[in-house]
Chain A
Amino acid sequence: MTRTTIGLIARQFCTTAAHGRALYSILLIMALMLGYAAYSGYKTYTDQNNIREHYQRVVRESWEGNPDKHPHRMAHYGSFAFRLKHPLSQFDFGLESFTGNAVYLEAHKQNSVNFSEATFSTGLLRFGEISLALLLQLILPLFIVFLGFSAVSADREGGALKIMLIQGASWRSILVGKSLGLMALALLVFVPVACVTFVMLLLADEPATGDTVWRYILLLGGYLLFLQIVCVITVIVSAVSASSKMALMNLLGIWLLLAVLLPRTLQALGSYVYPSPSKIEFETAVEEDVLKEGDSHNPNDPHYSALKDSVLRVHHVDSIQKLPFNYSGFVMREGERISANIYDRHLKKLLSVYKQQNSLNRVMAFVNPYVAIRNISMALSGTDFESYVAFQHGAEAYRYQMAQTMNELQMEYISTQQTSISHDHWKELPEYRQEPVSVTSVLKNEVWSFIALLAWGMVAVVLIQRISKTAKAL
């Protein structure tokens, strides 16, 4: 009985909406925006990845094409890491425009990741970017509000609600039915977006791996749950508000507060409360720590003279010329190890400040389902903060590997007689490859956002039960 009632109410809600002009204009606008967002997502992804892959190849060819030389010259010649976009970045741009894309990798020095899209952008970027994710997170909820604010209140005002209740429909089936009907309308937008995203994944140069498929499925699940929560809240607000007009006001207020005002305000407050160091502060701190450890260029430095003594002792020789390896290569390897460790320590500290800045907004996921889905969406699309940090770490690890490979070549081959080595050695350094972040680590990073979204799903169910008992027909 209830199931058929729910189905009936849901269907009736949809047919009523189908009679109005509003639905069609909304669908038309959404279709246009969907097309535009999909196109710009696809174009940016394809263009940028082509450009970056091209230069990554160029850089590798020029690395291997170097003639014979001293390996330390090669370490200074260095290489580059270009950040590749995840195929799902076509769907959710996330932080992509604000994270750097190219970093020069050389011995002794961790360079900044440069050329973020933001550095080439006008003030317009701060208004946001139009992506499929933006449509689902921000615009579709607004349209759900437009279509559903009067879902219950109009029936009450028109007197139909009384009749429905008298005829035996329970409050619960009315609320559930209307929510499902509203959700069906939302699916008219959601399903095309999901299909378009699927096609984009097929078109991407990078073949879709199992990992990508899992990300895609989780994305769909997350958004379905989010949209269902939005639909339930809309119907409930419609049921408890005094009139359709009041319901609309309340819903618009909630949308503005949760989707527009709170996230920006809390993020700004987070940065206000936890100030982060400027680059010059950061670099000075690193430099001071490195100098504390010792200056590898200073022959009288206590750290390095102690090191020299112990090395000579271990090898039972009395001068560095008698060592079985090139001593300055050895010192350089030691210096690189120390400075890289120190840099790493400071970087971790910096990143933890950033995480603190973001934390204020992140805990809001429990109060604000929009924040939960936004975080989940970015993380699954490989465009979140963690994905960027993973790139940074990967690039630094490759830089370290490059510098140490060259130092070891120097230790092995360089002597007063031989000051350069064959270019065949350059191939010994493997090509730079961007390590993908696995979907399991995404789940681990975003576990609280997932829990928050699921909790919201349960709150929606509980709310329907509660309201069913207290709602008034008149």
Chain B
Amino acid sequence: MYSLMIKQFLRSRVALVAVVLTLFMGVISILIGKQFLLKQEDTIARVTEQQQQHIERNVAAHTDELGLLLYYVRFALISPPDKLSALSIGQRDVTPGIQSVTIRALEGQKYDTELANPTQQQSGNLDLGFVIIYLFPLVIIAFTFNLLSEETETGTWRLVAVQSRSTFRYLLSKLSVRALFLYGTLFVLLALAVVIIGVPLNGAFAGFVALGVLYLAFWFALCFWVVSFKRGSGFNVLTLLSIWTVLNILLPASVNSYVTAAHPIPESLATTVQQRNSYHEKWDMDKKVTMDKFYAHYPQFARYGVPDQEFKWLWYYAMQQMGDDESATQSQAMRAKIIQREQTSRAIALAVPTLHAQLQFNDLAQTSLGNYVGLLDSATTFHERLRLYFYPKIFDNVSAKGEDWSRFKPEYIRAEPQISWVTMLAPLVVMVLVLAVWALRNARRLTSL
């Protein structure tokens, strides 16, 4: 009977066109992801190559004054993109993956953005995550909305009811034929992604597959649930498409607007203005004021005292330090707000499968807002380490010649994704079960015509 059902399914042109179209869009999305990844990797290669030349050029120009040299020299901290990020680009195109900083005040440097076309960002990326979250449900709807109604509307349902042992089992096998094709498409695309992009077969990828499979299962369950009410084709397609619109457009857009409006971040502007003022105003103050504050922060340098010359790099870097120290409150508040946004979004997403899938895909690919905050935090530690390494050398006026500059290669941070399988999969499992059980109860009444 299965082979007949498959034949019947393939008879309809819509089915073939939909599968081919999904495959086509999937392949495009994989290519776009690959291009994205290549660009990021190319940028990283450039940064690595340039840091060497950049340091050599500056060392040659400012050998005598280490303080002046370090005014110019930039050190890169790189968060290399995970291969999986090609499948779920997430925030990675908005937030930079490289922090290239001098040892001057960090707050004025770390929020610099990557160049990007805002129109492109607004329209959103076409990655495999999008194809799974957005397009697959549409195909599932197109395949299943008339699962039962086409039989009743063409008059074949009575025949089925009489001839098959269980009408319910009949419907289920019809559904499974459709599921077979769609999951087949999904697996083909995932396999292509592995081949084209070279995604490693690790835990994160397994998570990606599991999430994709369950997400599609949710939509199958939802469609079957709607179908089980035994209404007409028109009613089913209207209902399902409305649900799709609500889950993929209206709810996410509303939730996002809510999060943005509920947690505005004026602290960002406060931070940027404060760090500028705190550093610059020190030029017009008595040196002692700055130095006292500096030594309060770093007592280990107190022996350098208050310089009496008009200009000294010791004083200069102490002033720069004040830019960071005195805007720390604002900066912390901004960070707290960002985390708050992330948490609110996550909490709401637990109840909305589309949002949940998107955020979890991003987590697996390490392209979420949380990963960006992670990079900012790492940049702070990285910067502090450089600072504390160079400060005494600058204060002692050590020559740049004594330093082995080739040691200063870009540093990489590589965080393994923390996969919490339960949080990731449980919401979808629960929803699939609830819908399936409900649909089953409805389906029992199907046999009575």
B42, B95, B252, B269: which contacts A127 (Cβ < 8 A)? B252
Known A-B contacts A267-B120, A280-B43, A357-B120; the reply to A124 vs B359 at CB < 8 A is yes
Indicate which residue in B113, B126, B277 contacts A116 across the interface (CB closer than 8 Å).
B113
Q: Given A69-B283, A98-B94, A358-B119 in contact, is the A126-B50 Cβ separation under 8 Å?
A: no
Q: Please determine whether A43 and B261 come into contact, CB atoms closer than 8 angstroms.
A: yes
CB interface residues, A 31-63, toward B, < 8 Å = 33, 36-37, 40, 43-44, 47-48, 51-52, 55, 58-59, 62
A264 near B369 (CB under 8 angstroms)? no
By the criterion CB–CB under 8 Å, are B359 and A102 in contact?
Answer: no
- State whether A98 and B349 are in contact (beta carbons under 8 Å apart), knowing that A59-B273, A265-B126, A268-B125 are contacts in the complex: no
Does A104 make an interface contact (CB < 8 A)? yes
Pick from B35, B248, B253, B264: contact of A275, CB below 8 A: B35
Shortest distance between the CB of A148 and any CB in chain B (Å): 13
Question: A127–B120 contact, CB under 8 A?
Answer: no
A82-B284 in contact given A44-B260, A268-B123 (Cβ < 8 Å): no
A-contact 0/1 string along B207-245, CB 8 Å cutoff: 000000000000000000000000001100110010001
Residue of A nearest to B29 (CB): A268
- The interface stretch among B176-184, B338-346, B383-391, B417-425 is B338-346
Residues of B within 8 A of A435 (CB): none
Interface assignment of A434: CB less than 8 Å from any CB of chain B: no
Residues of B within 8 A of A330 (CB): none
> Which chain B residue shows the least CB distance to A267?
B123
Q: Does A276 contact B (CB under 8 A)?
A: yes
A272, B32: Cβ atoms closer than 8 Å? yes
Whether the pair B43, A121 counts as a contact (CB closer than 8 A) is no
B449 at the interface (CB under 8 A from A): no
Question: CB within 8 A of B284: which of A40, A66, A264?
Answer: A66
Closest to B138 in A: A256
A5 on the B face (CB < 8 A): no
How many angstroms between the C-alpha atoms of A385 and B120 in the bound complex? Answer: 10
Contacts of B100 in A (CB 8 A): 280
User: At the interface, yes or no: B366 with Cβ under 8 Å from chain A?
Assistant: no
Which single residue of chain A is at the shortest CB-CB distance from B253?
A130
Contacts of B277 in A (CB 8 A): 62
Which residues of the partner chain A approach B138 to less than 8 Å between Cβ atoms? 256
Interface centre among B138, B260, B266, B341 (most CB of A within 10 A): B260
Q: Name A384's closest neighbour in chain B (CB-CB).
A: B119
Q: A277 vs B46: C-alpha distance in the bound complex, in angstroms?
A: 12
| Distance in angstroms between the alpha carbons of A280 and B74 in the assembled complex | 12
**Interface residue SS majority, chain A:** helix
B369-A121 in contact (CB<8A): yes
In the assembly, what is the distance between CA of A16 and CA of B98, in Å? Answer: 61
Q: Tell me if B8 is interfacial: C-beta within 8 Å of chain A.
A: no
Given contacts A112-B112, A119-B94, A284-B50, contact A126 B124 (CB under 8 A): yes
In the assembled complex, B320 has its CB within 8 A of some CB on chain A:
no
Contact of A100 among B43, B113, B260, B341 (CB under 8 A): B113
Least CB distance, A361 to chain B, in whole angstroms? 8
* Complex Cα spacing A225 to B210, Å: 46
Q: A244: CB under 8 A from chain B?
A: yes
Contacts of B134 in A (CB 8 A): 260
* Cβ contacts under 8 Å, A278 to chain B: 39, 42-43, 46, 114-115
By a CB distance below 8 angstroms, the chain B residues around A112 are 112-113, 115
Q: How far is the CB of B3 from chain A (nearest CB, A)?
A: 28
| A402 CB, min distance to chain B CBs, angstroms | 14
Nearest-neighbour CB distance to chain A for B123, whole angstroms, equals 4
Docked-complex contact A120 and B238, CB < 8 angstroms: no
> Which residues of chain B in 260-291 are interfacial with respect to chain A, using CB atoms and an 8 Å cutoff?
260-261, 264-266, 268-270, 272-273, 276-277, 280, 283-284
CA distance A417 to B368 in the complex (A): 57
Q: Is B31 an interface residue (CB 8 A)?
A: yes
| Interface residue? A24 (CB, 8 A) | no
- Shortest distance from the beta carbon of A65 to any chain B beta carbon, whole Å: 9
Contact A97 B122 (CB under 8 A): yes
What does the 1/0 interface line of B119-156 toward A look like (CB < 8 Å)?
11111111000100011001000000000000000000
Question: Quick check: is B358 within 8 A (CB to CB) of the other chain?
Answer: yes
Whether, in the assembled complex, B362 has its beta carbon less than 8 Å from a beta carbon of chain A, the answer is yes
Q: Which residues of B contact A315 (CB under 8 A)?
A: none
Stretch from A138-146, A181-189, A204-212 at the B interface = A138-146
The contact of A104 among B42, B118, B233, B276, by CB within 8 Å, is: B276
Q: How far apart are the CA atoms of A121 and B253 in the complex, in Å?
A: 12
Say if the beta carbon of A118 comes within 8 Å of chain B: yes
Question: Which residues of chain A are near B249, meaning CB under 8 Å?
Answer: 127-128, 138-139
B259 at the interface (CB under 8 A from A): yes
The interface residues of chain A lying within 8 Å CB-to-CB of B80 are: none
For residues 91 through 107 of chain B, which have their beta carbon under 8 Å from a beta carbon of chain A?
91, 94-96, 98, 100
Question: In the assembled complex, which residues on chain B have CB atoms less than 8 Å from the CB atom of A124?
Answer: 252, 255-256, 259, 345, 349, 355, 358-359
Q: Are B256 and A280 in contact (CB under 8 A)?
A: no
Cβ of B314 under 8 Å from chain A:
no
Q: Which residue of B lies closest to A69 (CB)?
A: B284
Whether a CB of chain A sits under 8 angstroms from the CB of B15 is no
Is the pair B250, A33 in contact by a Cβ cutoff of 8 Å? yes
* Bound CA–CA A265/B268 (angstroms): 33
- Chain B residue nearest to A375 (CB atoms) is B119
Residues of B within 8 A of A276 (CB): 115-117
Check A114 against B113 for contact (C-beta < 8 Å): yes
Q: Give every chain A residue within 8 A of B248 (Cβ-Cβ).
A: 127
Partner of A264, one of B115, B126, B233, B355: B126
A59 to B280, CA, bound (A): 13
Give the distance in Å from the alpha carbon of A78 to the alpha carbon of B82 in the complex: 39
Closest A residue to B31 by CB, please name it: A272
Please indicate the chain A residues that have their CB under 8 angstroms from the CB of B254 in the complex.
33, 36, 130
Question: Looking across the interface, which residue of chain B has its beta carbon closest to that of A106?
Answer: B276
Asked if A430 lies at the interface with its beta carbon under 8 angstroms from chain B, I say no
Q: Is the CB of B354 within 8 A of A127?
A: yes
Whole-angstrom distance from the CB of A96 to the nearest CB of chain B?
9
Q: How far is the CB of B33 from chain A (nearest CB, A)?
A: 10
Note all chain A residues with C-beta closer than 8 A to B135: 261
Partner of A248 from the list B237, B266, B367 (CB cut-off 8 Å) is B237
Given contacts A268-B125, A279-B96, contact A120 B341 (CB under 8 A): yes
Would you call A385 and B119 a contact (CB within 8 A)?
yes
Q: How far is the CB of A12 from chain B (nearest CB, A)?
A: 22
A318 interface residue per 8 A CB criterion? no
Q: In the complex, what residue of chain B is closest to A389 when comparing beta carbons?
A: B118
Chain A hits for B447, CB < 8 A: none
A98 partner, pick from B47, B95, B122, beta carbons under 8 A: B122
Contacts of A130 in B (CB 8 A): 250, 253-254, 256-257
Q: Is A73 an interface residue (CB 8 A)?
A: yes
Quick check: A77 and B280 within 8 Å, CB to CB? yes
Contact A354 B114 (CB under 8 A): no
Chain B residues contacting A116 (CB-CB under 8 Å) are 94, 113, 118
Residues of A within 8 A of B35 (CB): 272, 275
Question: Known contacts A104-B272, A122-B341; is A268 also within 8 Å of B32 by CB?
Answer: yes
Contact of B126 among A52, A78, A268, A277 (CB under 8 A): A268
Give Cα A279 to B369, complex, Å: 20
In the assembled complex, 25 residue pairs joining A and B whose CB atoms fall closer than 8 Å, in A order, are A52-B269, A55-B269, A73-B283, A78-B276, A95-B118, A102-B272, A104-B276, A114-B268, A114-B272, A116-B118, A122-B342, A123-B359, A123-B361, A124-B345, A126-B358, A127-B249, A127-B355, A131-B257, A138-B249, A248-B238, A277-B115, A280-B47, A280-B98, A282-B115, A385-B118
**Chain A residues near B (Cβ < 8 Å):** 33, 36-37, 40, 43-44, 47-48, 51-52, 55, 58-59, 62, 66-67, 69, 73, 76-78, 80, 82, 94-95, 97-102, 104, 111-131, 134, 138-139, 142, 146, 244-245, 248-249, 252, 256, 260-261, 263-265, 267-272, 275-282, 284, 350, 353-354, 357-358, 361, 385, 388
5 pairs of A and B residues whose beta carbons are closest in the complex: A127-B252, A268-B126, A130-B253, A267-B123, A98-B118
Q: A102-B269, A280-B43 are in contact. List 6 more A-B contacts (CB 8 A).
A: A119-B111, A124-B259, A127-B252, A271-B117, A353-B117, A354-B119
